[in-house]
Amino acid sequence: MHTRAYYEFMNELTHTSTPLQTLENTLDTTFFKVLSEPARIELIKHLLKLQKADIGTIASHMSQDRSVVSRHLKVMLQAGLVTSEKEGKHSTYTLNGEGFVEKLESILSIVKQATSSNCC
């Protein structure tokens, strides 16, 4: 079963006519923009360790201000790499492992198709 983020990601990619164009669009997605920022990679590592945490807890493990961490989490949430759950006055964040893996698998599929000998 695929997540909503997966379907949005695939919809973003499949509005092209050839596998090569789809691959080009894949490399320009929010997903890769998230992964190209070192601070977001650090956030992913911390969320893997912490499992579930609020912004204050996450920020206490990082060199960035809480507001910067919050902006990074917002981008990651929009890309479907984290989930957020409201708990009282606080929101807690969790790495969306299923969504992450689905995106990687779909990217691998697109790369295989675009680089196969019978492509395009």
Domain boundaries, given as residue ranges, for the chain: 4-114
Q: For residue range 46-70, list pLDDT tens digits in order.
A: 999 999 999 999 999 888 899 999 9
> What pLDDT is attached to residue 22?
75
Is the confidence at residue 16, as pLDDT, over 60?
Answer: no
- pTM beyond 0.85, yes or no: no
DSSP string, 44-101: HHHHHHHSEEEHHHHHTTSSS-HHHHHHHHHHHHHTTSEEEEEETTEEEEEE-HHHHH
> What pLDDT is attached to residue 118?
65
- Confidence class of residue 104 from pLDDT cuts 50, 70 and 90? confident
Fold of 4-114: Arc Repressor Mutant, subunit A (1.10.10)
- Confidence class of residue 44 from pLDDT cuts 50, 70 and 90? very high
